[in-house]
Chain A
Amino acid sequence: MSSIIGGIKKRFSHAATVSASEQTAPVPANVEFKGYAVTDANNWSTFDVIHFQPKTWQDTDVEIAITHCGVCGSDVHTITSGWGSFPTPLVVGHEIVGKVTRVGAKVKGFKVGDRAGVGAQIGACYSCRSCKSDNEQYCPQKINTYAGKYPDGVKTQGGYSTAIRAHEQFVFPIPDKLESRYAASMLCAGLTVFSPLKRHGAGPGKKVGILGIGGLGHYAVLFAKAMGAEVYAFTHSESKVDNIKKMGADHVIVTDEEGEFTKPLTQELDLIISTRDVSDNMPLNMYLKMLWVHGKFISVGLPDKPLPQVMAFDFEANGSFMGGSHIGNKKEAIEMLNLAAAKGIKPWIEELPMKDAQQAVERVKRNDVKYRFILTQDLA
């Protein structure tokens, strides 16, 4: 690891000593943007190294030499075509951490050498109501970190790569006390659960249910506990129970497909975050019964298939709500990272070099990971 960082420092030592005015100079010739890409959708787990065109540099941008990138369920949904067709070649990965190598003239929050991260969003319009109300993740013109397109036509390529450029709004400072390998997967998985937990009241005196204890779900347990809530973790797998207890869940419930497990919890929970990635056989109407009056069931999992059918009656019994959530805003990202640093929150990760991306994505597809893969830089 330190030799990789040493290598990057050596390569960019020129940038580290450059004065502020020179940081807006044209791209140094030795910055390469290359990454592990899927080039054929029929061979979804085969990665080939490609060079790609990065975002056109602007003075609001930050450029990062990537040291770590988490493997998100989204990466797998995308490259398996589970979410529809995707453009090739495609470099996925949106849980990115690295070192800042260049900052635009208008950038206030970063300087060269800072550790910074980028998550699942890389652009927005910056002028709509969403963007102006700290809801940039809900901007109708948002740009995704990969498989998206900038207004000038450049395609967005993700973090299984050497470097990335992003508008400062989508770059998050990593606190000193938080290691990069732990921070990486917070930038999508962590934020995706932290935002709804925060916005919908997780905290002391509240009972929060987490459905599905995987990449996102285990973060939800760790954060909900750190926020002071009483945590009910639901898993369909007996084998995860011990681990979930170690994560600090107050209650661990093994679920059944008929929903019998919900009965003793009628009207008990204030909030349920569902990270489940399968919608088949999910007794959604029974999960809703566990909610207290006006409680919310928020699905952050995005299964390929439709959700189970529900009837209006299912919400009537307790005036409950079902909804979704999309990542979080920058303020929440920073708050989350600071909380993680302050409370020593460490996700459960497995590290692999980036060249082993194939193994990582295939194992994620099989749910065979405790509980997030982190790919470490090996191309630069």
Chain B
Amino acid sequence: MSKAEFKGYAITDANLWSQFNVVEYQPKTFEDDDVELRIAYCGVCGSDVHTITEGWGKIPTPLVVGHEIVGQVTRVGANVKEFKVGDRVGVGAQIGSCYKCRACKEDQENYCPTKIDTYNDKYPDGVFAQGGYSTAIRANQLFVFPIPDNLRLKDAASMLCAGLTVYSPLKRHGCGPGKKVGIIGIGGLGHYALLFAKAMGAEVYAFTHSDRKVEDIKKMCADHIIVTGSNPDFAKSLEMQLDLIVCAVDVGAGMPLADYLSMLWVHGKFVMVGLPDEPLPSMKAFDFLCGAFLGGSHLGNKKEAVEMLQFAAAKNIRPWIEELPMSKASEAVQRVKKGDVRYRFVLKQDISPIDVE
């Protein structure tokens, strides 16, 4: 078994949010339920940018971000039956939970009140969780997902946060044949929502702010494309039409939320997966008189992750990605901040490269 060393590209000064320096760090204390992997690729998530720009609050340094991690197993603990050395696996945005609360026992581990995030969080023994812009990671097997043979690691990577974050609510809230599903914001998460919703058999309405993505969205096979920026009345002809809306935009203030809700059929749901830094627009109780719901979602559980990866492999769902060497993380995060990516960066690990695809 090849030894895993733990080194990564870290932010060392929060004032220089896009400047990465290689650091060595202490990994999770190895336990019998753990899986260790050497990292091949890591996706760049909006969360990484929200975090290092301190949009979501102050950060400790040094901090290695990245939670769309794929690689190859190098070590398994005594209790691990599911994986063996050499397996192709991934880790997403969650790396721990309590394993004993109601949420953990009912396949809702992503909602455990004491869950541990893959980076910028702490284990009970005090070890700081560092993310996947790095050479290796250890995680409890509940948070390690097998990657199907016919799904390339670089395609699987961003499914582990972006993909799962939309797959779970699409599935849980009824996306499928006969349903009309709106996707607002066609970026990293939004484009996955579009691809998955189509593959799940729904009729997909894609909402995008400007013209610039329309050609791409057509290629992604949306049934309807609505450009909202140029058309303030976009919601009128769609009143009470949609069963479900997944909102992946990253804006809070100024979002025409009441208009969005008006497009929902009775008891339809508007599920926010985008997590803007600022509060949502002010709402009145009257905006909900159509019986619709506004809500959220956090990642997905392991069963959904495994199902999603198999679904993607079976239906040949490939995300739109741009690959960069991990040493170019700075360029990647800066371009994500500007929305300049079609539609996810995937960083190839280059500190101690491994040969697995």
Contact = CB atoms under 8 A, between A and B. Distances in A.
Given A138-B291, A267-B102, A316 B297 contact: yes
A323 B294 contact: yes
B283 interface: yes
Contact of A302 (B265, B280, B286, B296): B286
B108 A321 contact: no
Contact of A296 (B106, B276, B293, B297): B293
B285 interface: yes
A370 interface: no
B276 A312 contact: yes
Contacts of A292: 102
Nearest to A325: B291
A69 B113 CA distance: 48
Contact of A323 (B172, B275, B284, B291): B291
Given A296-B293, A321-B269, A312 B275 contact: yes
Contacts of B103: 267, 293
Contacts of B240: 129-130, 138, 140
Given A293-B103, A324-B290, A319 B279 contact: no
Most buried by B among A140, A296, A314, A315: A315
Interface string A262-301: 0000110000000000010000000000001110100101
B288 A324 contact: yes
A231 B266 CA distance: 26
B295 A138 contact: no
A311 B280 contact: yes
A25 interface: no
A302 B298 contact: no
A303 B278 CA distance: 24
Contacts of A313: 275, 296
A307 to B, nearest CB: 5
B239 interface: yes
Nearest to B102: A267
Interface in B285-311: 285-298
B267 interface: yes
B131 interface: no
Interface string A125-147: 00001100101001010000000
Contacts of B266: 130, 133, 135, 138
A152 to B, nearest CB: 25
Interface string A143-169: 000000000000000000000000000
B272 interface: yes
Given A310-B279, A321-B294, A299 B111 contact: no
Contact of A320 (B285, B290, B292, B296): B296
B274 interface: yes
A199 interface: yes
Nearest to B265: A129
B298 A307 contact: no
A135 B283 CA distance: 24
Contact of B295 (A129, A299, A315): A315
Nearest to B172: A294
A133 B172 CA distance: 23
Given A138-B290, A313-B275, A321 B295 contact: yes
A140 B290 CA distance: 9
B252 interface: yes
Contacts of A316: 272, 275, 296-298
Nearest to A304: B284
Nearest to B281: A309
Given A138-B266, A303-B285, A324-B288, A311 B279 contact: yes
A251 to B, nearest CB: 18
Interface in B128-150: none
B230 interface: no
Contacts of A320: 295-296
B272 A307 contact: no
Given A267-B113, A323-B294, A311 B285 contact: no
Interface size bracket, A side: 35 or more
B291 A307 contact: no
A317 interface: yes
A322 interface: yes
Nearest to A134: B266
B282 interface: yes
Given A303-B285, A306-B284, A317-B298, A266 B252 contact: no
A207 to B, nearest CB: 12
Contact of A299 (B102, B113, B172, B288): B288
A267 B285 CA distance: 23
Nearest to A299: B285
Given A312-B275, A312-B276, A316-B297, A323 B282 contact: no
A206 interface: no
A318 interface: yes
Given A140-B240, A312-B252, A307 B285 contact: yes
Contacts of B286: 302, 324
Nearest to B279: A309
A355 interface: no
Contact of A319 (B274, B285, B289, B297): B297
Contact of B293 (A303, A307, A322): A322
Contacts of A267: 102-103, 111, 113
Nearest to B169: A319
Contacts of A138: 240, 266, 290-291
Given A313-B296, A315-B294, A323-B294, 5 more contacts: A129-B240, A267-B111, A294-B172, A312-B252, A324-B289
Interface of B: 102-103, 106, 108, 111, 113, 169, 172, 239-240, 252, 265-267, 269, 272, 274-276, 278-280, 282-298
20 contacts: A129-B240, A279-B285, A292-B102, A293-B106, A296-B293, A299-B288, A301-B285, A302-B286, A307-B282, A307-B285, A315-B296, A315-B297, A316-B272, A316-B296, A319-B295, A319-B296, A321-B295, A323-B288, A324-B289, A324-B292
Interface of A: 129-130, 133, 135, 138, 140, 199, 266-267, 279, 292-294, 296, 299, 301-303, 305-307, 309-326
